[in-house]
């Protein structure tokens, strides 16, 4: 192997390992406190094996277009584990209260009550925004909100197969980002909604951007409504993705046309969120983000929140200064969201209590960055193996 190829491969391995570790260390430290670094080493060598296998396949020595059976089998395995783990998790006193918060708040919404007056069984406020509650309603009606995790996981696997050139890359991405990520997999199994938030954000963003390039037909309207509701799931996504989507559209169809096109999802986001906020601003708990910074002195909490928000928005706005592709859009989304979430997580992790609690929220950033990384690896490895430049899709 050439020295350049070796260095490139090692760089991707280290980068993916950093993404994986940030999203996994919380659960590793919680469930395997005395074996964290042993499993971290296992994760490193696992990612090494995935990258090496992907390089081997992309050089034409294996099947680049894996059969759909690999995805179906993976989804079925997660579904079986969910049926086993979920009821067990609900009997534990120290269980994750994310599912309980979603359950009680969506039940309130189903009965046309204000969903933010209730609390989880731990007494924690409800953090999902109205869009997440609306997307959970069909599964609440079916009898189990946790079913939304399996539904969106299946759709996300389909999305990955469309996003990448080859299904082998998509499967490697799913393996590292979802199946091997302790935080993401545990959340899916116990019914927490954090991973599916970024899953339907990725799906709706790409569907909307692809449908916004041509004539504005029903696909544009449907994807715009879905994106608008999805952006109203967590404040971070609307903050980071709105300027990036506008920057992308401005480069594709022009500034004024881009403004007209983005007006639909942003109007939906406002229409979904504003009535709940105006009903009782003091109890609209998704905006009480300073609670995450309770470890800081009280006088610093608000200034730090403002500083992190400005940093994230400025990072996202760099999309107006470079030529955006879909992978680059997710790269900047990952960096911008990391700028908002990772600094307080590192401060808490390196502090006297050595808590990795806030780093667990970086799984969305890891997903965005991994979409870019695996797409770049796919292009790089394919070119090295084939000896020619691959044709670029229209959106790239």
pTM of the full predicted structure?
0.90
Place 392 in a pLDDT band, splitting at 50, 70 and 90: very low
Place 395 in a pLDDT band, splitting at 50, 70 and 90: very low
Rounded CA-CA distance 82/17 in Å is: 26
In the chain, DSSP finds a helix count (H) and a strand count (E) of: 15, 0
Are 200 and 99 contacting, i.e. CB atoms less than 8 angstroms apart?
Answer: no
Quick one: tokens of 126?
């409800």
Please give the C-alpha separations between residue 334 and each of 291, 362, 384, in angstroms, as whole numbers: 23, 9, 27
For residue 104, pLDDT over 80 is answered with yes
- By percentage, how much of the chain surpasses pLDDT 90? 61
Q: Is residue 189 part of a domain?
A: yes
Are 349 and 356 contacting, i.e. CB atoms less than 8 angstroms apart?
Answer: yes
Instruction: Give pLDDT tens digits for 342-374.
Output: 887 777 767 666 666 677 778 899 999 999 999
- Which residues have CB under 8 Å from 70's CB, separation 6+? 167, 171
Number of independent structural domains in the chain: 1
Higher pLDDT, 291 or 300: 300
Rounded CA-CA distance 27/144 in Å is: 24
For residue 68, pLDDT over 80 is answered with yes
Q: Is residue 394 part of a domain?
A: no
For residue 200, pLDDT over 80 is answered with yes
Per DSSP, the three-state class of 111 is coil
Nearest to 76 by CA among 162, 167, 157: 157
- Which residues have CB under 8 Å from 285's CB, separation 6+? 116, 125, 126, 127
- Which residues have CB under 8 Å from 49's CB, separation 6+? none
Report the mean per-residue pLDDT for the chain: 87
Place of tokens 């090494």: 48
Mean pLDDT of 26-40: 80
Residue 167's domain comprises: 3-386
Place of tokens 């559209």: 249
Place 292 in a pLDDT band, splitting at 50, 70 and 90: low
For residue 387, pLDDT over 70 is answered with no
Rounded CA-CA distance 366/338 in Å is: 8
Q: Provide the CB-side half-sphere exposure for 150 (13 A, CA).
A: 19
Q: Is residue 392 part of a domain?
A: no
Q: Is residue 393 part of a domain?
A: no
Quick one: tokens of 375?
């797409």
Expressed in percent and rounded to 5, the helix, strand and coil fractions of the chain are: 75, 0, 25
Q: Is residue 150 part of a domain?
A: yes
Q: Is residue 391 part of a domain?
A: no
Q: Is residue 317 part of a domain?
A: yes
Higher pLDDT, 210 or 351: 210
Q: How confident is the model at residue 93, as a pLDDT?
A: 75
Please give the C-alpha separations between residue 86 and each of 14, 90, 95, 96, in angstroms, as whole numbers: 33, 6, 10, 11
Instruction: Give pLDDT tens digits for 114-123.
Output: 999 999 888 8
Instruction: Give pLDDT tens digits for 122-170.
Output: 888 999 999 999 999 999 999 889 999 999 999 999 999 999 999 999 9
User: Residue 1 carries which DSSP code?
Assistant: -
Q: Is residue 396 part of a domain?
A: no
Quick one: tokens of 84?
């086993």
Per DSSP, the three-state class of 161 is helix
């Amino acid at each position: 192997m050439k020295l350049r190829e070796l260095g490139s491969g090692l760089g991707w391995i280290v980068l993916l390992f950093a993404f994986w570790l940030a999203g996994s260390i919380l659960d590793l430290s919680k469930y395997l406190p005395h074996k964290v670094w042993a499993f971290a080493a296992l994760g490193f060598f696992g990612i090494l094996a995935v990258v090496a296998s992907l390089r081997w396949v992309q050089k034409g020595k294996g099947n680049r277009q894996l059969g759909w059976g690999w995805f179906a089998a993976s989804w079925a395995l997660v579904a079986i584990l969910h049926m086993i783990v979920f009821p067990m998790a609900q009997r534990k006193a120290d269980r994750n209260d994310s599912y309980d918060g979603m359950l009680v708040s969506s039940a309130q919404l189903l009965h046309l009550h204000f969903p933010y007056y209730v609390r989880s069984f731990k007494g924690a406020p409800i953090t999902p925004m109205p869009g997440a509650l609306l997307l959970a309603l069909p599964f609440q009606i079916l009898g189990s909100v946790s079913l939304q995790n399996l539904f969106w996981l299946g759709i996300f696997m389909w999305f990955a197969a469309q996003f990448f050139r080859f299904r082998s890359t998509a499967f490697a991405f799913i393996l590292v980002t979802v199946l091997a990520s302790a935080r993401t997999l545990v959340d899916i199994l116990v019914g927490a909604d954090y991973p599916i938030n970024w899953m339907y954000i990725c799906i709706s963003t790409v569907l909307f951007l692809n449908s916004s390039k041509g004539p504005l037909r029903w696909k544009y309207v449907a994807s715009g409504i879905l994106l608008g509701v999805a952006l109203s799931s967590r404040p971070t996504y609307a903050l980071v993705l709105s300027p990036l989507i506008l920057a992308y559209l401005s480069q594709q169809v022009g500034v004024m046309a881009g403004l007209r096109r983005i007006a639909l999802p942003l109007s939906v986001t406002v229409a979904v969120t504003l009535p709940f906020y105006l009903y009782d601003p003091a109890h609209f708990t998704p905006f009480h983000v300073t609670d995450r910074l309770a470890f800081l002195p009280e006088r610093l909490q608000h200034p730090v929140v403002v500083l992190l928000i400005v940093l994230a928005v400025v990072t996202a706005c760099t999309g107006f200064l470079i030529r955006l592709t879909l992978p680059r859009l997710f790269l900047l989304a990952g960096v911008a969201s990391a700028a908002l979430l990772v600094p307080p997580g590192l401060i808490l992790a390196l502090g006297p209590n050595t808590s990795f609690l806030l780093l667990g929220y970086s799984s969305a950033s890891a997903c965005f960055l991994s979409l870019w990384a695996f797409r770049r690896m796919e292009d790089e490895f394919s070119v090295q193996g084939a000896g020619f430049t691959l044709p670029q899709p229209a959106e790239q």
